[in-house]
Chains A and B, each alone.
Chain A
Amino acid sequence: MLIRVTPRHAIPSSEVTDESVYRNRREFLRQAGLLGAAVAGVGLPRLARAMDGAGPQGQGPGKLGAVAMGEDLRKDLTDWGDVTSYNNFYEFGTAKDDPAPNARAFRVKPWTVKVDGLVKKPADYQLEEFMKPHRLEDRIYRHRCVEAWSMVIPWRGFPMADLVRRVEPLPSAKYVEFTTLMDPKQMPGQRFPVLDWPYTEGLRLDEAMHPLALFVTGVYGTDLPNQNGAPLRHVVPWKYGFKGCKSIVRIRFTDREPATAWNKAAAHEYGFYANVNPGVDHPRWSQKRERIIGGIRSKATLMFNGYGDQVASLYAGMDLAKFY
């Protein structure tokens, strides 16, 4: 039941949960306890090790590890069907249900990721090499869209900090920029100037180094579906979803704040930081509450999407209404 061999990455099969289990929510819920035990048994000590020395000052790796694992969110997981059919991925169309059908034929192999800019080891990596040294972890994160809806998603990936250390940014590097593939032939949305293609996003280097920031290659224990940003995306759970760049082909280290796609499109609505913040409304709608995907319920939005204990120190002394 728990065994499935994923072709792309060498993951211990004991850690992988059968996709079909996840496709059925009720069955999933029935088995949640069992699965939880299986995943936690393998993942937690490993994650705790990974967190060792990586956590911000004053935080025990154990606590951060538990937050990162997100076991307490398991009961709130968004259905596989909703995670993979309700997507903002404008490269494949602007409607939520566009990306799933339009990305079906998208080729994610071979895939090259360029690492360049202010970095000691710039390189063009084949995705396999890019991934190779890193241990994949399963983490359940809250996902809050700037459009005031939210999901709870079991990502699979590795800490962004691990890659940053591996490529050794120069001391002058202060920011990281991510770029999505530009390929209008495969990405029909790019044929319309809805955004200034290709999509770019960025993080401050200390944000990128935070142990909660992830490079993601999978979801629900299986490879990332194309509509979710295959084969490589990043996830920063305390920020609005659009900060996560999908189908990444370039990671550039820089000393200047990178221009980001949504900020260029509407600077007064989408800031560079885009931290989840119920106190700062979008000009056109409230951010105080969020619609829970998969039903008609809503809930109060949490500061930093509930990760305030882990990330608030990154923004000490900043006016978050100004740096929205």
Chain B
Amino acid sequence: MEAGAAAGAVPRGGPPAGEGKGAAPRSRHRSSAPRIRAPQWLKYPVIALSLLPAAWLAFALWSDLTRNTRLLGANPVKEMEHYLGEWNIRFLVLTLAVSPLIQATGWGWLIRYRRIFGLLAFLYIFLHLTVYFVLDVELDAALLVEDVTDRLYITLGMAGFLLLVPLAITSTKGWIRRMGNRRWNALHWLIFPAVVLGMVHYYMAVKRDIREPLVYALIFGVLFWARLRNRRGSRGQAA
């Protein structure tokens, strides 16, 4: 079960590994949340639901191109890029929310959703880049190079994406075993700089109205803060 395996990646002070199999962990969670255990199969509808935005986008593009509809509006390429970028951010939020949520509620079974959300975030950023390269840059390698080298927000966004690639590759049980918890955790710490790069990219890409990127920045700020707080709080008692 990936839950048990991935639990090795829980930040220091998180619920002990292996909680996925047994009862909810008796960890130092702060709330008195009721012990809830979701069934194993819940992940399938969650994944299916998470793929709906991508499916809708594919349908809308097909419909606009072949049936003369306007589901993607007047500027479909930009619309697709923004849509996919925003879903990437949403899944990054969910990914980073898992550990603090476990800390707060003690629902250790949530851990299996961290990898699911992380991979979904990667899927959406991969699609974001695919649309950018195929439809926006129109497969023009020289233009791509110019964009990446000359435009800081693209440079930063691309760097953020590259940081996520090794995380997606090493998300399997096999890699976690091969690397060992400590090294795997160290590598997957890269999600934090990746998020920061992605947010700066988002902020810079916006022309003038920065309210939306600021809202997401605030959410990430809260999630980062919750992590630091948990970490500090548990350091004394750990080990």
Contact = CB atoms under 8 A, between A and B. Distances in A.
Interface of A: 26, 79, 81-82, 85-86, 90, 94, 96-97, 147, 149, 192, 194-195, 265-266, 281, 283-286, 291, 293-296, 298
A310 B204 CA distance: 36
B75 A291 contact: yes
B138 A281 contact: no
29 contacts: A81-B70, A85-B74, A86-B73, A90-B208, A94-B207, A94-B208, A94-B209, A96-B74, A96-B75, A97-B73, A192-B209, A192-B211, A194-B208, A194-B209, A195-B208, A265-B208, A266-B208, A281-B150, A284-B204, A284-B205, A286-B143, A286-B147, A286-B151, A291-B78, A293-B74, A295-B76, A296-B65, A296-B76, A296-B77
B153 interface: yes
3 tightest A-B CB contacts, nearest first: A86-B74, A94-B209, A82-B74
Given A79-B74, A96-B75, A192-B209, 17 more contacts: A81-B70, A81-B74, A85-B73, A86-B75, A94-B209, A147-B207, A149-B75, A192-B211, A265-B208, A284-B153, A285-B151, A286-B143, A291-B75, A293-B74, A294-B74, A296-B135, A298-B138
Name which of B70, B76, B135, B209 has the most chain A CB atoms within 10 A of its CB: B209
Contacts of A285: 151
Contacts of A96: 73-75
Contact of A291 (B77, B143, B152, B207): B77
A284 B209 contact: no
A90 B74 CA distance: 18
Nearest to B72: A296
Nearest to B153: A284
A293 B78 CA distance: 10
A147 to B, nearest CB: 7
Contacts of A82: 70, 74
A119 to B, nearest CB: 32
Nearest to A93: B209
A114 to B, nearest CB: 27
Contacts of A295: 76
Contacts of B77: 291, 296
Interface in B30-79: 65, 68, 70, 73-78
Interface string B128-150: 00000001001000010011001
A235 to B, nearest CB: 19
A149 B68 CA distance: 20
Name which of A26, A79, A265, A283 has the most chain B CB atoms within 10 A of its CB: A283
A129 to B, nearest CB: 36
Nearest to A98: B209
Nearest to B208: A194
Name which of A97, A147, A283, A284 has the most chain B CB atoms within 10 A of its CB: A284
Contacts of B150: 281
Contacts of A291: 75, 77-78
Contacts of A296: 65, 76-77, 135
Nearest to A81: B70
Interface in B201-231: 204-205, 207-209, 211
Nearest to B150: A281
A147 B74 CA distance: 14
A251 to B, nearest CB: 25
A92 B8 CA distance: 51
Nearest to B205: A284
Name which of B68, B151, B205 has the most chain A CB atoms within 10 A of its CB: B151
B76 to A, nearest CB: 6
Interface string B146-184: 110011110000000000000000000000000000000
A283 to B, nearest CB: 8
A82 B73 CA distance: 8
A286 B146 contact: yes
A286 to B, nearest CB: 7
Nearest to B80: A296
A129 B25 CA distance: 79
B229 to A, nearest CB: 33
Contacts of A192: 209, 211
B230 to A, nearest CB: 36
Contacts of B78: 149, 291
A51 to B, nearest CB: 33
A64 to B, nearest CB: 30
A283 B78 CA distance: 18
A206 to B, nearest CB: 30
B57 to A, nearest CB: 13
Name which of B68, B147, B207 has the most chain A CB atoms within 10 A of its CB: B207
Contacts of A97: 73
Contacts of B138: 298
